[in-house]
């Protein structure tokens, strides 16, 4: 009896022309590649600028680039040449989706007029990610992650009360825009199945940050509040916060129900707090939080942070140590969910990257992750142009000879990370 066939990935067979650089766009197209799409990264002859971001490098490419470009193929095309622009247009004509994160108007100046391309190919989906969108008074302003974190109000909520605003430790402005673009692309693909028509998608980094304000925006809009930084606390739940233990390490508890409040008090050997009239209800605990917090803080100093996990777990109180990034990655490596992926290139160079969090159940387990090493600049011209456009080897060679296409020779196997000050 033959073994069951592994289902194809959901986006297998879809072709994506990736005109993106740096982070928001490449993060979007990496998700599409993880889901099975054939993503062809169109780069300038100099390559995506993120390939050169210091301080960490493996071979010729930065760790920054390697973390957001797996499972793609690369063509390096000089679109300033007529042959180069024509080649990209031919690729777009065979594609399902184009993703770009130019500033508004740049695609047209490069010779890629969206409406003209869609008039020729009505099923084409064009996804544009920009700082402030394709319309509006700020459309031409440059935007980076911290700019949209600042303008959206996100930074005003981050940090400790009474202290200066703090940027989130992750590039949420870029990452969230990439995620929303991916959602929109998948919705447009589903819509095209019904209508046969593509869509133009306009994703603004600032809009995405505003959407991520969640209940804080609702508090401001509905109640007229001015949300403030919370530090490692919660506006509404005083027992949803971090604490410092005897050894100086921090842990968090999220005791947000009456049962959890009782469990917290019992685990801390402070059952007397349950009967204290100041803390009898969630509303009273919030009103009297400045009296409650010192009592809880003192109780947590009785043990080391790790020693609090078992007693709190036993009482049904959600609890976690605040891990460092290396500790969190070590946990992920041990959890068996393929969240730490080993990737090896043709030369034998191996790296690890964080994997795809979208999992599909196949039979009794999760589908295998078969990601590939991020591409060398221009390395995939011959197979892509043969598969997508049917070009013969002689024509591809001509394009290399006249510098319409370029490619970088694969680096020798890297022995270790190269740091640049």
What is the β-pairing status of strands 72-77 and 38-43? parallel
* 29 touches 18 (CB < 8 A): yes
Question: Looking at 34, 48, 174, 207, which residue is catalytic?
Answer: 174
- Quick check: is 174 catalytic? yes
What is the β-pairing status of strands 38-43 and 15-18? parallel
As a whole number of angstroms, the distance between CA 113 and CA 115 comes to 6
As a whole number of angstroms, the distance between CA 19 and CA 41 comes to 6
CA distances from 260 to 137, 214, 266, 278, 296 (A): 49, 24, 10, 17, 14
As a whole number of angstroms, the distance between CA 243 and CA 300 comes to 7
As a whole number of angstroms, the distance between CA 381 and CA 340 comes to 29
- Cα angle 73, 78, 82; round to 5: 125
Residue 226's CB is within 10 A of a number of other CB atoms, namely 7
Q: Is the peptide bond before 55 cis (omega within 30 degrees of 0)?
A: yes
As a whole number of angstroms, the distance between CA 240 and CA 255 comes to 6
As a whole number of angstroms, the distance between CA 143 and CA 357 comes to 27
Q: Which residues neighbour 168 within 8 Å (Cβ) at sequence distance 6 or greater?
A: 149, 154, 155, 158
Each residue of 176-196: b (16+ CB within 10 Å) or e?
Answer: bbbbbbbebbbebbeebeeee
**Strand residues in 36-100 grouped as ranges (E):** 38-43, 56-58, 61-62, 72-77, 97-100
As a whole number of angstroms, the distance between CA 406 and CA 401 comes to 9
| Residues tagged active-site | 174
């Amino acid at each position: 009896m033959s073994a069951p066939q592994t289902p194809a990935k959901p986006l297998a067979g879809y072709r994506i022309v990736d005109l993106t650089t740096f982070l928001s766009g490449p993060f979007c197209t990496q998700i599409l590649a993880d889901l099975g799409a054939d993503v062809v990264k169109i780069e300038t002859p100099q390559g995506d600028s993120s390939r050169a971001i210091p301080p960490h490098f493996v071979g010729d490419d930065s760790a920054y680039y390697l973390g957001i470009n797996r499972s793609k193929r690369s063509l390096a095309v000089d679109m300033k040449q007529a042959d180069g622009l024509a080649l990209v247009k031919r690729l777009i004509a065979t594609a399902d989706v184009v993703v770009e994160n130019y500033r508004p108007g740049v695609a047209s100046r490069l010779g890629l007029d969206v409406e003209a391309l869609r008039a020729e190919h009505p099923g084409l989906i064009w996804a544009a990610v920009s700082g402030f969108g394709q319309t509006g008074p700020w459309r031409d302003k440059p935007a980076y992650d911290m700019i949209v974190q600042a303008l959206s109000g996100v930074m005003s909520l981050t940090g400790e009360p009474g202290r200066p605003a703090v940027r989130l430790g992750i590039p949420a402005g870029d990452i969230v825009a990439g995620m929303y673009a991916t959602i929109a692309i998948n919705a447009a693909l589903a819509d095209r199945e019904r209508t046969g028509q593509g869509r133009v998608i306009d994703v603004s980094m600032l809009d995405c940050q505003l959407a991520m304000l969640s209940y804080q925006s609702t508090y401001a809009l509905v109640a007229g509040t001015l949300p403030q930084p919370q530090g490692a606390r919660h506006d509404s739940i005083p027992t949803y916060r971090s604490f410092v233990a005897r050894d100086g390490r921090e842990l968090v508890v999220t005791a947000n129900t009456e049962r959890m409040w009782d469990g917290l008090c019992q685990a801390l050997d402070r059952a007397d707090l349950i009967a204290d009239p100041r803390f009898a209800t969630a509303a009273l605990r919030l009103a009297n939080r400045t009296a409650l917090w010192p009592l809880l803080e003192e109780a947590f100093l009785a043990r080391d942070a790790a020693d609090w996990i078992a007693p709190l777990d036993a009482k049904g109180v959600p609890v976690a140590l605040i891990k460092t990034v290396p500790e969190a990655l070590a946990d992920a490596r041990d959890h068996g969910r393929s969240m730490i992926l080993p990737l090896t290139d043709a030369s034998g160079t191996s790296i690890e990257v964080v994997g795809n969090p979208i999992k599909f159940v196949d039979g009794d387990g999760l589908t295998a992750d078969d990601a590939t090493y991020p591409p060398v600049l221009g390395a995939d011209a011959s197979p892509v142009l043969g598969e997508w456009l049917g070009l013969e080897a002689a024509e591809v060679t001509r394009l290399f000879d006249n510098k319409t296409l370029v490619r970088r020779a694969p680096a020798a196997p890297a022995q270790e990370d190269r740091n640049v000050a």
